């Protein structure tokens, strides 16, 4: 700014004083504006802020102090440096000027070299503070842009993670169905043929008949195993009551395999028309139970499934040792449960139970269900 011309507003009701100060500043190449009273000065500042103001105290409409404090209390004008023009040794006025926020004082009669030095210093200060303010604005803008980019990237990562989860679910379901529909059918065919072979063999071929019987037996076992694998991959039967009918099987498996009591409570019929929703809820129950056994060392677990007109609620409680005191490091399982809940438009909380142990509650609003159903 010092290289450019500065705009300096001189406020004084004495035309003679205005002319004198204008003449003093002139050789430094500044542009001078003049105002004869407070109202004129404020109107000029509002139109285009000057770089500096020389402000007389005694103005006809308001005092210079009032003008100064009004300008200093407005964010748009508080950065404009003000030099108050006071009478020589007028201590009171200087204090009042300081109080109003003025940066400098100059005494009447104005001494030209002193005026020029004070003006130069204040203009330089103003230049630095303008530069800093600009710099801050640029930095803030960059921070805002970077934050927005990061938020977008996080959003995109979440979307991709959800997509991966959905794809892997679909793939698992497809493999589960294929195993069930093709491999199991073929094995059933082999089993029937083995029975037929055993019956068709003459009574003399006892050993061969026994072998055929064993083939049938092992084939039956293989069918049972493949069915179990298929059920794990595609857990929920594609029927509206699939979730209701599959959760008891999950409870039974938990009780049988881990010797941990698992009680299922589903007081009323809960129909879930979207198999994707049912599968996600099933997986949430499976993970919550696995955590109860693995981390909570629970002896007893409960699954509740209820629905009212507003929402479907799946709750899994355990009587285990409860969540750790320190914040849970974000494990994969909890994260995936959250994703699954979000994916079906629901929410999930995991919290300690007042009576000890842990509870996982997944709520799915029913409009989301019917929209998907």
Name the residues that contact Mg ion, by CB under 5 A. Answer: 291, 333
Taking the least distance from each CB to Mg ion, the nearer of 218 and 258 is 258
C-alpha pair distances (Å), 366 with each of 31, 275, 279, 313? 71, 15, 16, 10
DSSP 28: G
**259 by DSSP, 3-state: which?**
coil
Residue 194 interacts with which of ligand ADP, Mg ion, none, CB < 5 to 8 Å by class: none
Cβ pair 59, 17 in contact under 8 A: no
Name the minimum Å distance from CB 332 to Mg ion. Answer: 7
Taking the least distance from each CB to ligand ADP, the nearer of 151 and 328 is 328
Name the minimum Å distance from CB 352 to Mg ion. Answer: 17
Name the minimum Å distance from CB 232 to ligand ADP. Answer: 18
Name the minimum Å distance from CB 192 to Mg ion. Answer: 42
Cβ pair 41, 9 in contact under 8 A: yes
C-alpha pair distances (Å), 128 with each of 29, 123, 196? 20, 9, 99
Residue 257 interacts with which of ligand ADP, Mg ion, none, CB < 5 to 8 Å by class: none
Nearest to 254, CA basis, from 301, 296, 297, 304? 301
Residue closest to Mg ion, measured at CB: 333
**d(Cα 155, Cα 136) in Å, to the nearest integer?**
28
Taking the least distance from each CB to Mg ion, the nearer of 275 and 291 is 291
Residue 328 interacts with which of ligand ADP, Mg ion, none, CB < 5 to 8 Å by class: ligand ADP
Taking the least distance from each CB to Mg ion, the nearer of 173 and 291 is 291
- Binding-site ranges for ligand ADP (CB under 6 A): 291-292, 295-296, 318, 320, 322-324, 328, 331-334, 358
Taking the least distance from each CB to ligand ADP, the nearer of 212 and 289 is 289
Residue 56 interacts with which of ligand ADP, Mg ion, none, CB < 5 to 8 Å by class: none
Taking the least distance from each CB to ligand ADP, the nearer of 35 and 341 is 341
**d(Cα 111, Cα 126) in Å, to the nearest integer?**
22
Cβ pair 287, 332 in contact under 8 A: no
**d(Cα 257, Cα 181) in Å, to the nearest integer?**
27
């Amino acid at each position: 700014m010092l290289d450019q011309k500065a705009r300096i507003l001189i406020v004084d009701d004495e035309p003679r004083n205005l002319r004198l100060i204008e003449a003093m500043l002139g050789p430094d190449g500044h542009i001078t504006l003049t105002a004869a009273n407070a109202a004129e000065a404020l109107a000029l500042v509002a139109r285009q802020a000057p770089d500096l103001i020389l402000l007389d105290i005694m103005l006809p409409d308001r005092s210079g102090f009032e003008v100064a404090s009004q300008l200093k209390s407005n964010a748009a004008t508080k950065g404009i440096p003000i030099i108050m023009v006071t009478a020589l040794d007028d201590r009171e006025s200087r204090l009042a000027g300081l109080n109003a926020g003025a940066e400098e004082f100059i005494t009447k009669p104005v001494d030209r070299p002193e005026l020029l030095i004070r003006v130069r210093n204040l203009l330089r200060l103003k230049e630095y503070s303008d530069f800093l303010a600009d710099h801050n604005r640029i930095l803030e803008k960059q921070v805002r842009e970077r934050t927005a980019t990061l938020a977008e990237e996080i959003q995109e990562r979440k979307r991709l993670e959800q997509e991966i989860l959905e794809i892997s679910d679909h793939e698992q379901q497809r493999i589960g169905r294929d195993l069930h529909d093709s491999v199991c059918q073929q094995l059933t065919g082999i089993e029937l043929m083995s029975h037929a072979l055993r019956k068709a063999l003459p009574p003399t071929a006892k050993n061969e008949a026994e072998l055929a019987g064993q083939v049938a037996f092992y084939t039956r076992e293989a069918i049972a195993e493949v069915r179990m694998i298929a059920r794990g991959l595609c857990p929920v039967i594609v029927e509206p009551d699939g979730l209701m009918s599959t959760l008891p099987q999950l409870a039974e498996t938990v009780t049988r395999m881990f010797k941990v009591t698992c009680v299922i409570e589903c007081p009323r019929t809960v129909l879930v028309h979207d198999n994707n929703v049912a599968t996600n809820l099933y997986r949430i129950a499976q993970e919550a139970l696995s955590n109860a056994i693995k981390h909570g060392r629970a002896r007893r677990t409960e699954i509740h499934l209820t629905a009212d007109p507003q929402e479907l609620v799946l709750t899994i409680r355990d009587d285990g040792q409860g969540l750790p005191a320190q914040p849970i490091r974000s494990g994969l399982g909890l994260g995936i449960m959250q994703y699954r809940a979000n994916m079906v438009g629901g929410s999930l909380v995991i919290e300690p139970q007042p009576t000890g142990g842990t509870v996982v509650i997944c709520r799915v609003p029913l409009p989301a269900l019917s929209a998907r159903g």
